[in-house]
Amino acid sequence: MGIPTIYPTGTTLFDPGKCWSGYTLFIARETGCALVDMNGNVVHLWKGLHGFPTKLLPGGQVMGSLGVRSPKYGFMDYMDVVQVDWDGNVVWKFDQYEYIEDPGQEGMWMARQHHDYQREGSPVGYYAPGLTPLVEGGNTLILGHKDVRDPRISDKPLLDDVIYEVNWEGDIIWEWVCSEHFDEMDFSEAARNALCRNPTMVVGKGEVGDWMHMNSISTLGPNRWYDQGDERFHPDNIIWDGRQSNIIAVTDKESGRIVWQVGPDYDGNQAVRELGWIIGQHHAHMIPRGLPGEGNILVFDNGGFSGYGSPNPGAPTGHNNALRDYSRIIEFNPITLKVIWQYSYEEAGFLPKMNNSDFYSPLISSVQRLANGNTLITEGSSGRIFEVTEAFEIVWEYVSPYYGINKNANFVYRAYRVPYDWVPQLERPDEKEIPKLDRSRFRVPGSVWKPEEGVVEVEGTLPYPGPQLCVSKVDEPKDG
Amino acid sequence: MFLGMSPEERLLANDNASRTILELRDAYRQQKANERKPEKMTHQIYSATGCARCHITKRFMKENGMDYEEYDIEADGKDAFAKFYRVHRAEIYRDKDGVEFPVYTDGSVIRQGVSVVIGHLVAGNGLDGFIGRSTLHGEWIDGFNISGGDPSRAGDLLKVMAYLKQNNLKILLTTDGRNPEVLKAVHDENLGDRIVMEVKGPAELYEALAGESIDPNALETSIRLAARFPDYQFYSIVAPMIPKDDTVRYLTPEEIGETAKTIEKATGSKKHPYELRPFDPDSAVDDRLKSAEPLPANAFFKYRTSARQYMVMTQIAK
């Protein structure tokens, strides 16, 4: 990735004519929940609010968490899911999933929420016409943790994923436990073997196996596949992804069965081979009705390291056996698995093999389809949020200036763009174009460049050719 | 002399002679019977090579002077057991792992499993209801239902349990709250390693749920005692019942909440492992309950929410 020591933060580029403008919401590291305008001005900050992630509701209320369980005893267990008004008052809270007593601490109820939740009304938690999250009332779908033992998976204690639904009154009315569906997930024998030995042990309540590591849940919402009679895509069904398994799947809300899935392997039939390996992915969801690409699956395919399978030079035990050092956004048809749109190093204009990791976030990250067809991408590990057109032009870019103290990093888990009118408390801000700078001319104070000075001609030189890299110029041909 | 008798005298003499013959025959048979060795009860054990529970049973019999004939089904006793099994197939249970050994018979009864056999040797049928079939293997043994037997036979029960403990078996007990005095004795003698207590409902609903009432104090005493065992769990079955109006209905979430409250009241703590289990119609004693429509899985969340007010660690069993 090679990020230099000094680089600009805040908004670095903004083309108002090509953007789907609005506010952008994200967690400013160790600061709170920030709402920034297109020019990077922080127009509101819910100080101290946590969120994994935070989401804005129409009317200027925000959802997030009040805190996280001590990392000494829990792994990514957020205590609650809360709804906070513009002035910082908690207007709704759920924490009654499990009563937790950690050493030296008072017992307390916790939601054990992590990575995602959805408020009824909006399938995916971001703007889509006519699919608006409920502000008062409505159920909330929460992704949480549960400690289980399941010898079919491993003899080690597991940090399992659960999806549960709570109503406005705080009653749990539905629950789905991931491990109970292990046999539906098509793990190969090699994968089962690797998983059994190391179900991705993390430090939680002792060492526990975060075997699936789900990081995204959303409902499908109304969609054309269901309208055409495909029951697998019932609007209430839930699409989720497991970072560690490379699985993206749809759970039938009524039966609990997994009714659609890609992964954990991508070496099967031609369609899945052409889709290519999805590795360590985040934020897989179906593009909601009313947005360009509706019905397609949109996912931040991180690359990095994940999966279970046969050992290879990069994964001597078969744990994290899928490896790739660049990311890609893919939008694909869930029926044919054909890739409809992609953004990776290639579309970004980076040199393959040499610079393909210049668009790369091995962890976290997200992607949102905007109403004008643009796509908001959170390249999480470097704190970069940018809006790209269908033709791959970057029309807005923002780099989080919030570097943590506990961790010297400005990473952003997930960012959302919201329409201006969801925040009636603020006047619509003036939008000022920020042209794309010529980086070969951009200098910090004290840095000098006078390219015309001190130049001599060398007799007999030839013109410079294109790049020649120390690798094959031809990729492996695709099967089929 | 016989010829000089009148016909009446001849008939009388004939009767006397017949009686004498019969008396002599009976006396002879009695003498022969007395000459035989006194008859002994024959203990027969069908065992398996390496079966630790068979060894414990045989050790108990030796220590108590009981001779027995042993048939090891993995050695010379294979054919004998096959023959015995063919005749008594209906009386010998087997699970997915096969027949549980030892299998014991004295010719009139068949008993199976170390605890049941020793219980029979100690008390005949006196421990029926206290000791049943064990479903656990290895170091753990279950099948001990404190609330199921005659409390006047508690001494015999303790004797059996103590023997198993001496032989390094860990004992899992169950109770529904009745016989708290027996539970106390088991606890005080440190004979139970884990107890799973079914709290059927609030005390006032026991009769409707179990067909037998319970003294509220007895229920609370048992709950309190159960929480003192090294390892314990409470559970309730969200069950249908037939109250006095004869209408079949399920326990309500509020009644499960009251059940959890009973546990809290008895122990002074909200933090006990407590599980809500679904009703199994096959287990119903009353035929009217066998056809009860099962509750949908999602219905249990209301019960859990209600119970968690008083038992914060309430879980729904799968």
Query: pLDDT of A254-282, one tens digit each?
Result: 999 999 999 999 999 999 999 999 999 99
Residue B128 has pLDDT above 90, yes or no: yes
Determine contact: A174 vs chain B, CB below 8 A. yes
What is the average pLDDT across B192-208? 96
Name the band, by pLDDT with cuts 50, 70 and 90, for residue A478: very low
d(CA A428, CA B204): 65
**Quick one: DSSP state of residue A416?**
E
Dump pLDDT digits (tens) for A228-253: 999 999 999 999 999 999 999 999 99
Cα angle A90, A92, A94 (rounded to 5 degrees) comes to: 115
How high is the pLDDT of residue A143? 98
d(CA B151, CA B251): 29
Of the candidates A333, A412, A334, A399, the residue with the CA atom closest to the CA atom of residue A367: A412
- Asked if B313 and A99 come within 8 Å (Cβ–Cβ), the reply is yes
Determine contact: A91 vs chain B, CB below 8 A. no
Dump pLDDT digits (tens) for A361-394: 999 999 999 999 999 999 999 999 999 999 999 9
Residue A354 has pLDDT above 50, yes or no: yes
Cβ atoms A212, A191 nearer than 8 A: no
Name the band, by pLDDT with cuts 50, 70 and 90, for residue A476: very low
How high is the pLDDT of residue B115? 97
Q: Which alpha helices (H) appear in chain B, and where do they start and end? A: 7-35, 52-63, 78-88, 114-123, 154-166, 180-188, 206-210, 216-226, 253-267, 287-290, 300-308
Dump pLDDT digits (tens) for A158-210: 999 999 999 999 999 999 999 999 999 999 999 999 999 999 999 877 799 99
- Asked if A175 and B318 come within 8 Å (Cβ–Cβ), the reply is no
Q: Helix (H, G, I), strand (E, B), or coil: what is residue A458?
A: coil
What is the average pLDDT across A288-301? 98
Mean pLDDT of the residues in chain A: 95
Name the band, by pLDDT with cuts 50, 70 and 90, for residue A477: very low
Determine contact: B152 vs chain A, CB below 8 A. no
Instruction: Collect all residues of chain B within an 8 Å Cβ-Cβ radius of residue A171.
Output: 301-302, 305
**In this structure, how many other beta carbons lie within 10 angstroms of the beta carbon of residue A458?**
5
In chain B, count H helices and then E strands. Answer: 11, 14
Report the predicted TM-score, pTM, of the whole model to 2 decimal places. 0.85
Of the candidates B278, B236, B228, the residue with the CA atom closest to the CA atom of residue B259: B236
Q: CA-nearest residue of chain A to B316?
A: A175
d(CA A114, CA A211): 15
How high is the pLDDT of residue A468? 76
Q: Which of A99, A175, A180 lies at the smallest CB-CB distance from B301?
A: A175
Question: Could you report the predicted ipTM of this complex, rounded to two decimals?
Answer: 0.76
Does a cis peptide bond (omega within 30 degrees of 0) precede residue A123?
A: no
- Asked if A107 and B308 come within 8 Å (Cβ–Cβ), the reply is no
Cβ atoms A211, A158 nearer than 8 A: yes
- Asked if B301 and A174 come within 8 Å (Cβ–Cβ), the reply is yes
Cβ atoms A147, A161 nearer than 8 A: no
How high is the pLDDT of residue B177? 96
The CA–CA distances, whole Å, from B117 to A230, B44, B94 equal 60, 11, 16
Q: Which of B301, B312, B318 lies at the smallest CB-CB distance from A99?
A: B312
d(CA B22, CA B11): 17
State the amino acid at position A350 in one-letter form. F
How high is the pLDDT of residue B220? 97
Q: CA-nearest residue of chain A to B272?
A: A99
**Quick one: DSSP state of residue A78?**
B
Q: Which two tokens stand for residue A449?
A: 């460049």
Q: CA-nearest residue of chain B to A176?
A: B298
Instruction: With residue A283 as reference, give the H or E element that holds it.
Output: strand A282-286
Cβ atoms A217, A240 nearer than 8 A: yes
Cβ atoms B141, B164 nearer than 8 A: yes
Q: Which two tokens stand for residue A202?
A: 């993390």
Q: Which two tokens stand for residue B268?
A: 């002074």
Name the band, by pLDDT with cuts 50, 70 and 90, for residue B98: confident
Residue B127 has pLDDT above 80, yes or no: yes
- Asked if A173 and B298 come within 8 Å (Cβ–Cβ), the reply is yes
Angle between helices B300-308 and B253-267 (to 10 degrees): 30
Name the band, by pLDDT with cuts 50, 70 and 90, for residue A96: very high
Determine contact: A469 vs chain B, CB below 8 A. no
Q: Number of A to B CB contacts under 8 A, please give it.
A: 23
Q: What percent of chain A has pLDDT over 90?
A: 91
* Closest chain A C-alpha to B221 CA, distance in angstroms: 26
What is the average pLDDT across B191-201? 97
Instruction: Collect all residues of chain A within an 8 Å Cβ-Cβ radius of residue B318.
Output: 177, 180
How high is the pLDDT of residue A465? 86
Instruction: Collect all residues of chain B within an 8 Å Cβ-Cβ radius of residue A172.
Output: 301, 304-305
Instruction: Collect all residues of chain A within an 8 Å Cβ-Cβ radius of residue B274.
Output: none
Dump pLDDT digits (tens) for A42-71: 999 999 999 999 999 999 999 999 999 999
* Closest chain B C-alpha to A473 CA, distance in angstroms: 56
How high is the pLDDT of residue A237? 98
How high is the pLDDT of residue B13? 72
Dump pLDDT digits (tens) for B56-78: 999 999 999 999 999 999 989 99
- Asked if B308 and A101 come within 8 Å (Cβ–Cβ), the reply is no
The answer for residues whose C-beta is within 8 angstroms of residue A246's C-beta and 6 or more apart is A263, A264, A265, A266, A277, A278, A279, A280, A281, A306, A307, A322
Determine contact: B62 vs chain A, CB below 8 A. no
How high is the pLDDT of residue B102? 95
State the amino acid at position B122 in one-letter form. V
- Asked if A174 and B304 come within 8 Å (Cβ–Cβ), the reply is no
- Higher local confidence (pLDDT), B242 or B225: B225
Dump pLDDT digits (tens) for A117-142: 999 999 999 999 999 999 999 999 99
How high is the pLDDT of residue B287? 83
* Closest chain B C-alpha to A255 CA, distance in angstroms: 10
Q: Which of B298, B308, B313 lies at the smallest CB-CB distance from A174?
A: B298
Residue B14 has pLDDT above 80, yes or no: no
Residue A89 has pLDDT above 70, yes or no: yes
Torsion of CA B279, B280, B283, B284, to 10 degrees: 60
Of the candidates B42, B104, B101, the residue with the CA atom closest to the CA atom of residue B67: B42
Q: Which two tokens stand for residue B302?
A: 């209301």
What is the average pLDDT across A4-19? 96
How high is the pLDDT of residue A479? 43
* Closest chain A C-alpha to B314 CA, distance in angstroms: 9
d(CA A212, CA A231): 26
Q: Which residue do the tokens 């001005």 mark?
A: A41
* Closest chain A C-alpha to B233 CA, distance in angstroms: 17
